[in-house]
Structure 1
Amino acid sequence: MMTHLGPTPRNSWLVSAREVDLRRPVSRPLPATFEAQPQRLTVDLARTALLVIDMQNDFCHPGGWLASIGLDVSGVGPVVDAIASLLPPLRAAGVPVIWLNWGSRPDRANLPPNVLHAYDIAATGRGIGAPLAGSGSPALQACSWSAQVVAGLAPADADVHVAKHRMSGFFDTPLDSILRNLCVDTVLFTGVNADQCVLATLTDAACLGYDAVLLEDAVGTTSPEFCMQATVYNVRHCFGFTASAQSLLSALPAETGQPASVP
């Protein structure tokens, strides 16, 4: 009897005591066509993943770290709603959901001075790892309240969680290995901040050969509006495509389910 052996069902061998079949399962294409910029897009949902970036308390909650240093996070509500609307239908279509949150080591041993300075430019002790007023949670620390997904978004048991400690989610993390083991070509980008961690991760994804699609209404930023405009411009002209979550949703099959495998 042959048994599947692999990190995911999408990347597995068939193995028995006497035989190994190296042929990977091939998913039937599940195309979705929708309006995008600079051109209309067709993606294969069977080879697509949804990446949700930094939708965590420290970046989105009024008691989180960004709010504590005076930034206005009140505009995050529509982003939460847009991402929440995507989760059930994309999961039903078999699209993996990956939560990419900033979560530093408690000892900050892998954070160089330039990263620490970006979050505490005057070295006042209010940066990464500093306890927040009120909750006392250490800022941007893994496994803390600060790194938890913000209320209004509910990870599922089958979702994947990746902790990062740079603007780009690919640097010194297993994100690339996970996407490749899921046999993903196209990545849908959502989250905050659009011009910072989202763009840095998207840029690296494009450089690694992934198809990058920024869902404009499912990202946000605390930066000035011109930063968002520049981000959208650069994604369209240099790194990939932009579209709306609503356009994508309208293109999903009426009846979705995990794409069947072709022997």
Structure 2
Amino acid sequence: MDLPALPKPITVDLSRAALIVVDMQNDFCAEGGWLHSIGVDLSPLASAIEALETLVPAVRSAEVPIIWLNWGNRPDQANIPPGLARVYDPDGRGEGIGATMANGSKVLTKGSWGAELISALTAAPNDLHVDKYRMSGFWDTALDSILRNLRVDTLFLSGINSDQCVYSTLTDAASLGYDVVLVDGASATTSPQYCHEATLYNTRQCYGFSTTARDLQTAVSAYPDTCKERS
């Protein structure tokens, strides 16, 4: 499959590719979730949510695996180092990972409302789910083993926040030998816009490529049926 990309167009074997969707969870994206409760403006995420609503089904229809990579921490946080507990809570006010929200949900804790996929996006029965416990989805998880069992070597990365968990996962993937493509438009951040722009720049400069959600959706939708069979 030929795909418009930066810094130059690329050719991708979709039978060796996967779409990773990072952290599209209530605590990050929904009103009443963690970030909303501490005053973070969620409006920059709206366009990425809208793009993923159509991109995910299109990619799935091309028989490319969809991997939902989400925070799903242990309730006892036994594997969470103290520094990570201060994420979005630098003053230690008790508003960080594992804190109990007004609705009773514990921030990014497995089984909680906040850790669930947002209502705008729907996982299919054959999609894969991986819980993560760091900014990168490769640390202390089964992600690498799953990808290698699928014989995947090209990763399309999407989700939020593009400059944090998406980028951490992308750089680790590149270091592990995967070809990485950041999907602009289907990734976004609540950080200042220049953080997203810097992420795109660094991805193209040092790690791989970027494409747009629209270009990826167009390309996979046009992919011949005869080429959809995975080896």
Instruction: Please report how far the alpha carbon of residue 182 of structure 1 lies from its aligned counterpart in structure 2 after TM superposition.
Output: 0.7
Return the match for 1:241 from 209, 213, 219: 209
- What is the DSSP-based 3-state SS (H/G/I as helix, E as strand, rest coil) of the residue aligned with 1:119? coil
Q: Distance in 1 between matches of 2:202 and 2:226?
A: 34
Instruction: State the match for 1:118 in structure 2.
Output: 87
1:199 aligns with 2:167: yes
Instruction: Please report how far the alpha carbon of residue 260 of structure 1 lies from its aligned counterpart in structure 2 after TM superposition.
Output: 3.1
Q: Distance in 1 between matches of 2:97 and 2:196?
A: 25
Instruction: Please report how far the alpha carbon of residue 62 of structure 1 lies from its aligned counterpart in structure 2 after TM superposition.
Output: 1.4
Instruction: State the match for 2:6 in structure 1.
Output: 37
- Code of the residue aligned with 1:162 in structure 2: it is V
Q: Distance in 2 between matches of 1:260 and 1:224?
A: 41
4+ long deviations beyond 4 Å: none
Alpha-carbon contact 2:73-2:133 (below 8 Å) kept: yes
1:204-223 Cα shifts (integer Å, max 9, x gaps): 00000001000110001010
Q: Distance in 1 between matches of 2:226 and 2:43?
A: 35
Gap regions ≥5 residues in structure 2? none
Instruction: Please report how far the alpha carbon of residue 34 of structure 1 lies from its aligned counterpart in structure 2 after TM superposition.
Output: 1.7
State the structure with more CA Rg.
Answer: 1
- What is the DSSP-based 3-state SS (H/G/I as helix, E as strand, rest coil) of the residue aligned with 1:213? strand
Q: Distance in 2 between matches of 1:62 and 1:72?
A: 10
| Greater alpha carbon shift after TM alignment, 61-70 vs 86-95 | 86-95
Over 3 Å counting, the alpha-carbon distance change for 1:254 and 1:187 in structure 2 is closer
Instruction: State the match for 2:199 in structure 1.
Output: 231
Larger strand share, 1 or 2: 1
* RMSD between superposed Cα atoms in Å: 1.4
Instruction: Please report how far the alpha carbon of residue 255 of structure 1 lies from its aligned counterpart in structure 2 after TM superposition.
Output: 4.9
- Code of the residue aligned with 1:157 in structure 2: it is P
Return the match for 2:127 from 155, 159, 182: 159
TM normalised by structure 1 equals: 0.84
Q: Which has the higher contact order (CA 8 A, sep 6+)?
A: 2
Alpha-carbon contact 1:94-1:257 (below 8 Å) kept: no
- Code of the residue aligned with 2:44 in structure 1: it is G
Alpha-carbon contact 1:36-1:242 (below 8 Å) kept: yes
Alpha-carbon contact 1:92-1:257 (below 8 Å) kept: no
Gap regions ≥5 residues in structure 1? 1-31
